[in-house]
């Protein structure tokens, strides 16, 4: 998975679009089955709808088409017997995040998406090892009992280091450092949001798609949070110009 994902990130274009559409559609299916485990077929139909809409939106590249993301979100919500608002919010967020990742890669280039993914990965790795080695008070025990404050802060510091490294390769300036830390926080809350969802649904993993590792939602939750943050940040402030 890492090898395929890395190759698609480097290649960009239609390759990155295809893998993003696939991952986004699968996560919608996982979201449905967490809420309605007895109706996987309808979840597959929603995933197919998401793939079609997202593929079309990426081809047209018109922001007005983002309203089409409501089709699966609303369609799934009205057919569910419970957790309708939960499905709507997460389904819409997942689709917007997928669209955002492809947009960042195509509009701002390889360095931009590499920075975003790098911050997410380093945040996760630094948080894991600091939490294991240092331990200490829990960050939010009711939602994510394994996360500690030491791991959380280590993730922020790791993200700041990623920002410093990228500043050495780009002309973006040192504002990339605090932005990296904000992105780190957003990725952590993406992870926390999915943990809260699983706890609410009473499941350990989003699916059993990856033996021993859960589902794609479990692997990409932090990246979803980071992508949504950058969508909001870019809409309000515009993206910082990252050039080699």
| pTM (2 d.p.) | 0.91
* pLDDT range class, residue 141, cuts 50, 70, 90: confident
Q: Which of 108, 129, 151 is the last residue of a domain?
A: 108
228 shares a domain with 133: yes
225 shares a domain with 115: yes
**Domain total for the chain?**
2
156 shares a domain with 39: no
What pLDDT score was predicted for residue 135?
A: 81
What pLDDT score was predicted for residue 108?
A: 84
Q: Do the beta carbons of residue 67 and residue 22 sit within 8 Å?
A: no
Q: List all residues 6 or more positions away from 146 whose beta carbon is below 8 Å from its beta carbon.
A: 131
Long-range contacts of 78-81 (CB under 8 A, 24+ apart): 79/42, 80/35, 80/36, 81/36
117 shares a domain with 238: yes
* pLDDT range class, residue 241, cuts 50, 70, 90: low
Number of other residues whose CB lies within 10 A of the CB of residue 176: 22
Distance CA(62)–CA(229), nearest Å, equals 20
Mean pLDDT of the chain: 89
Q: Do the beta carbons of residue 95 and residue 21 sit within 8 Å?
A: no
The pLDDT tens digits for 178-199 are: 999 999 999 999 999 999 999 9
130 shares a domain with 96: no
Top-confidence range, 144-148, 167-171, 192-196, 240-244: 192-196
115 shares a domain with 100: no
Q: Which ranges of 36-109 does DSSP label H, i.e. alpha helix?
A: 40-60, 70-79, 84-108
Domain interval for residue 214: 109-244
């Amino acid at each position: 998975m890492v090898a395929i994902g890395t190759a698609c990130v480097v290649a960009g274009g239609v390759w990155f679009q295809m893998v993003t559409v696939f991952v986004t559609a699968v996560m919608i299916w996982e979201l449905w089955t967490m809420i309605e485990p007895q109706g996987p077929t309808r979840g597959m139909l929603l995933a197919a709808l998401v793939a079609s809409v997202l593929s079309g939106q990426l081809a047209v590249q018109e922001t007005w088409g983002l309203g089409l993301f409501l089709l699966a979100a609303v369609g799934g919500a009205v057919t569910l017997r419970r957790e309708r608002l939960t499905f709507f919010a997460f389904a819409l967020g997942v689709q917007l995040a997928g669209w955002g990742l492809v947009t960042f890669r195509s509009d701002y280039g390889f360095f931009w998406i590499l920075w975003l993914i790098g911050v997410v990965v380093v945040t996760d790795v630094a948080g894991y090892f600091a939490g294991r080695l240092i331990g200490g008070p829990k960050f939010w025990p009711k939602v994510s009992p394994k996360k500690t404050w030491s791991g959380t802060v280590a993730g922020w510091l790791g993200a700041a280091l990623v920002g410093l490294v990228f500043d050495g390769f780009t002309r973006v300036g040192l504002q990339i450092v605090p932005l990296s830390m904000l992105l780190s926080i957003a990725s952590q809350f993406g992870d926390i949001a999915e943990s809260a969802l699983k706890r609410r649904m009473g499941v350990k993993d989003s699916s059993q798609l990856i033996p021993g590792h859960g589902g794609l939602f479990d692997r990409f939750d932090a990246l979803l949070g980071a992508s949504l943050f950058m969508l909001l940040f870019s809409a309000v402030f515009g993206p910082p110009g990252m050039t080699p």
